[in-house]
Structure 1
């Protein structure tokens, strides 16, 4: 019906914040970071590692679960070839269906 309101819907204020701060989300972010680091290690000459990190997110700029991938042993060719950027782009494209 046009104009009718769904009286059964109740917003869950703070739900995204709760999900973003959960240990499961932290584990998922770290797993994605480890996959990214592994792929970069496979194609590059540098050494990459993933670490759990808190990221700023949401309207209130809260600290939420995340991960960071760092180049821990750099090689000049990886910088020149933008290995981490290319691997990230390739993983993004592969995820689309």
Structure 2
């Protein structure tokens, strides 16, 4: 039996642009910033933003984590990269 799948582009677009998706991505970014603040010397912050994604390069809800006060040790030690890798392994 062959199952045919056709993506619902309109539905995916609405989901990706929804306020709920913006809230979910911001929550994940805040968690990442908090974890980085706990282990690093820099100060990190999370902020909502619009990202370009999808096959049509659409504007979608997203979030970013950035260093608000950089410290050289965090760059050397790759704090954000380590935090992201740890979160991926723990699935959080």
Q: TM-score, normalised by structure 2?
A: 0.91
State which of 42, 48, 52 in structure 2 corresponds to 1:52. 48
1:47 to partner: Cα distance? 0.2
User: Which residue of 2 is the match for residue 30 of structure 1?
Assistant: 26
Q: How many residues align?
A: 92
Superposed displacement of residue 14, structure 1: 1.1
5+ unaligned residues in a row in structure 1: which ranges? none
Q: Report deviation, 1:11.
A: 5.8
1:70 aligns with 2:57: no
Displacement over 6 Å in runs of 4+: none
Q: TM-score, normalised by structure 1?
A: 0.86
CA RMSD of aligned residues (A): 2.0
Residue matched to 2:8: 12
Per-residue Cα deviation, 1:14-73 (whole angstroms, up to 9, x for no partner):
111110000000000000000000000000000000000101111110000000000010
Please, which runs of 5 or more residues in structure 2 have no aligned partner? none
Q: Looking at CA atoms only, which structure, 1 or 2, has the larger radius of gyration?
A: 1
